[in-house]
Amino acid sequence: MKIVTIVGARPQFVKAAVLSRAINEYNKKMGDGVVEEVIVHTGQHFDENMSDVFFDQMDIPRPQYNLMINNLSHGAMTGMMLTKIEEVLQKECPDWVLVYGDTNSTLAGALAAKKMHIKVAHVEAGLRSFNMRMPEEINRVLTDRISDLLLCPTETAVSNLKEEGYDKLNNTIVQCGDVMYDAAIYYSKQATKPHGINENEQFVLSTIHRQENTDDGSKLASIFEALSEIAAKRKIILPLHPRTIKKIEQFNITPAKDIQIIEPVGYFEMIWLLSHCSCVVTDSGGLQKEAFFFKKPCITVREETEWVELIQHNVNFLTGSNKDQITRVFGELGDKNIDFDVNLYGEGNTGQIIVEELLAFQR
């Protein structure tokens, strides 16, 4: 069986590492060459700290193809990816195309495969924010609709698909757990302190990159006003995407001196930051879950989240970009009785389950 794996953005590299390791373990057990994986890097995230470092740290195979498509509008990027991925698929003739999450790379990979009648497996299927203004929501909904194997991380994701009628369509829905939980367990012992961080100082970990926040000057200013108030009480470590830095400069926002802005970090550095922080303030989808994995409360500066089970279990708190809401929730965290001892994302064997599902699939 040959699989073409499409990656392009930071979280997808981490997820791909889980599956690559599971494939290697399966091949060792059954004999080399049973499952062949060809990795295609679209180049969607092109910064050295946000791409190459992950392949190095995760010890996964270098991609056989690097399409180097980036810094374009959504339409131009997706269209160019579609063209280039189609060329790869014509050459490789895989049994499966494996896509992750909700990026332009995800949609382009799924669409190219489907038009060539190649089976598509979507990891993190069924997630919904129910906000069709988010490019990610459009990508995930369209990818789900053309996927053959819908690999859902949670009960909520399965329920979303069934409510949309997917159980009556020609596909297979599987609740397999979350690959990011596998990664957190496997790599936690390799956590590495980022350069320039004082490990004896308490801090809040924050990331801000979501387009709905960074492209709106008033929202971005409100978030940084809230961060400034929080930083007056507890230092904030803020790994910042280059694009967000440009937006801060564009909107003339001056971060408080107690907000320590650092360059984007690798996965092992992020694990260290999660392990040592007191809480997380983010608009990232993945970091909400990772905060839960490391038993840290999370304030999500968005109006909605795909990970509703975190809200339901009172470990994650939605505030939007409203400064008063963000600071109020932060001030109340110490009084909350937060219970992290609940199984939401599987047993840490999601990679193995996905490999078995790909091999067992019949249509």
Residues catalogued as catalytic: 209
In three-state secondary structure terms, 20 is: helix
Length of the chain (residues)? 363
Residues 71-98: b if buried by 16+ CB within 10 A, e if exposed: eeeeeebbebbbebbbebbeebebebbb
CB–CB of 7/13 below 8 Å? yes
Closest CA to 147 of 109, 192, 183: 109
CB–CB of 330/324 below 8 Å? no
Beta strands (DSSP E) in the chain are 2-7, 36-41, 65-66, 96-100, 119-123, 149-152, 172-175, 203-207, 235-239, 259-262, 280-282, 298-300, 316-318
In three-state secondary structure terms, 122 is: strand
